[in-house]
C-alpha cells in the first residue's frame, strides 16, 4: 500500500523513498559501514609486535569471557547501573508527582530546575560532584560538622561517588518519563477516590502508582541503559583505576592500542544495550498495552 494519504493529490509512489533518500544515504555510509567494520575488527587478533592481524576468529570474545579482570569490570558496570536506576526511580518518581501537584508559577519554575540540568554539559555537572565529594569537599565538611563522621569519607575514586554523580546526571530523564505518564492522570479520579473514603496512602497505592508505573519502568530502561554505557562521569569520579565497560573500551583503544579487543568490548556493550532496551520495551508495551494506546 503506497497510496498517499494526501487524498486527491496524485504523486509518484516513489516520493516518500526519494524524500528519505538523503537521510538513508547518510546513515548507510556513516552508521552501517562503521558498525559492520567494528564487528569485523573485533574478530581480528592483536599482538604487541605484530599489530592488528587479518584473521577471523572469536579469540577476543574468548579472552573477555575467560578473564576474571573483565568479569570484575562488567560486574561493576552492572552494579552501578542497577543502583543508579533504583535511586533515580525512588527519588525521581515522587518528585515528578510532587511537581505535578504544584500550582503555577511554582510548577513551571521547578520543572525548569528539575529538567534544566539535562541541557548543561555532563562535564560541568560531574566537575561539581568532584568538587563536592573530595576529601575536603562540602559533603565531607558538612558530615563532619554535624558529627556524623569523624574522618572524611572516600567518595572520589569509589563506586559510591560514581553512583551519586550518575544519579544526578540521569535523574531528569526519570522525572520526564514519570511526568509524561502523570499527565494522563485525571485529578478528578484522585478526588473521587478521596470522596469515596480512600485514605491518602490508598490513593497513592491504588490510583497514582499504577498510572505512574509505565513511566517509571520506561524511565528505568533509559536510565539503566545510559548508566551502563556512561563514560565521562565514571572516568572523572572513578579515576583511571576504577574502570567500567565504557572506560575499559577507551583504554584498550587509546592507551593499550589493542583495537580488536576494544572493538569486542564495544560490540558486547552494543549487543547488551540493544537487547535490554528493545527487550524491556517489548515487555512493557505488552504489559501496559492499554496505557500506551
Partner 1 sequence: MSRNGPVALIFHALFVVFVLAPILVVCAVAFTPLGFLSLPTQGLSLRWFRAIGANPEFVEAFWASLWLGALSASIAIAATVPCALAVARYRFPGRDALVAFLQSPLIIPPVVLGIAFLRFFSEIGLNGTFLGLVLSHVIVVMPFSLRLVIAAASGSDPQLEQAAVSLGASTWQSFRRVTLPLILPGVVSGWVLAFITSFDEVTMTVFIASPRTTTLPVRLFLYIQDNIDPLVAAVSAALIFLTIAAMLLLDRLYGLERLLVGRGRD
Q: Answer yes or no whether residue 279 interacts with partner 1 by CB under 8 A.
A: no
Q: Answer yes or no whether residue 235 interacts with partner 1 by CB under 8 A.
A: yes
Residue 215 contacts residue 179 (beta carbons within 8 Å): yes
Q: Answer yes or no whether residue 209 interacts with partner 1 by CB under 8 A.
A: no
Determine which helix (DSSP H) or strand (DSSP E) holds 47, and give its type and residue range.
Answer: strand 45-47
Binding residue for partner 1, selected from 57, 183, 199, 202, defined by CB under 8 A: 183
Q: Which of residues 2 and 57 has its CB atom nearest to partner 1 in the complex?
A: 2
Q: Which of residues 67 and 186 has its CB atom nearest to partner 1 in the complex?
A: 186
Determine which helix (DSSP H) or strand (DSSP E) holds 52, and give its type and residue range.
Answer: strand 51-53
* CA–CA dist 292, 289 (Å, integer): 5
Question: Which residues ranging from 21 to 80 are in contact with partner 1 (CB under 8 A)?
Answer: 22-24, 26-27, 30-31, 33-35, 37-38, 41
Backbone angles phi, psi at 53, to 5 degrees: -105, 140
DSSP state string for 112-178: HHHHGGGGS-HHHHHHHHHHHHSTTSHHHHHHHHTTS-SS----TTSHHHHHHHHHHHHHHHHHHHH
CB 34, min distance to partner 1, A: 4
Binding residue for partner 1, selected from 278, 279, 283, 287, defined by CB under 8 A: 278
Question: Which residues ranging from 130 to 149 are in contact with partner 1 (CB under 8 A)?
Answer: 130-132, 138
Binding residue for partner 1, selected from 216, 225, 242, 284, defined by CB under 8 A: 225
Amino acid at each position: 500500500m503506497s497510496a498517499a494519504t494526501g487524498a486527491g493529490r496524485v504523486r509518484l509512489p516513489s516520493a516518500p523513498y526519494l524524500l528519505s533518500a538523503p537521510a538513508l544515504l547518510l546513515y548507510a555510509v556513516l552508521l552501517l559501514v562503521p558498525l559492520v567494520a567494528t564487528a569485523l575488527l573485533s574478530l581480528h587478533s592483536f599482538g604487541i609486535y605484530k599489530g592488528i592481524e587479518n584473521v577471523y576468529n572469536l579469540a577476543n570474545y574468548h579472552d573477555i569471557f575467560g578473564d576474571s579482570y573483565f568479569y570484575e569490570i562488567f560486574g561493576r558496570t552492572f552494579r552501578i547501573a542497577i543502583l543508579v536506576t533504583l535511586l533515580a526511580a525512588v527519588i525521581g518518581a515522587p518528585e515528578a508527582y510532587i511537581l505535578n501537584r504544584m500550582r503555577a508559577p511554582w510548577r513551571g519554575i521547578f520543572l525548569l530546575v528539575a529538567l534544566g540540568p539535562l541541557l548543561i554539559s555532563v562535564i560541568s555537572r560531574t566537575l561539581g560532584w568532584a568538587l563536592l565529594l573530595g576529601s575536603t569537599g562540602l559533603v565531607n565538611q558538612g558530615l563532619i560538622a554535624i558529627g556524623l563522621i569523624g574522618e572524611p569519607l572516600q567518595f572520589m575514586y569509589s563506586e559510591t561517588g560514581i553512583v551519586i554523580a550518575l544519579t544526578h546526571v540521569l535523574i531528569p530523564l526519570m522525572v520526564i518519563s514519570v511526568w509524561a505518564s502523570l499527565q494522563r492522570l485525571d485529578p478528578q479520579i484522585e478526588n473521587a477516590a478521596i470522596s469515596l473514603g480512600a485514605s491518602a496512602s490508598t490513593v497513592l497505592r491504588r490510583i497514582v502508582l499504577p498510572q505512574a508505573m509505565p513511566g517509571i519502568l520506561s524511565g528505568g530502561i533509559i536510565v539503566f541503559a545510559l548508566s551502563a554505557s556512561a563514560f565521562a562521569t565514571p572516568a572523572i569520579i572513578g579515576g583511571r583505576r576504577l574502570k567500567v565497560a565504557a572506560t575499559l573500551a577507551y583504554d584498550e583503544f587509546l592507551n593499550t592500542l589493542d583495537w580488536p579487543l576494544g572493538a569486542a568490548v564495544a560490540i558486547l556493550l552494543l549487543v547488551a544495550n540493544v537487547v535490554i532496551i528493545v527487550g524491556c520495551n517489548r515487555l512493557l508495551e505488552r504489559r501496559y498495552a492499554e496505557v500506551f494506546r
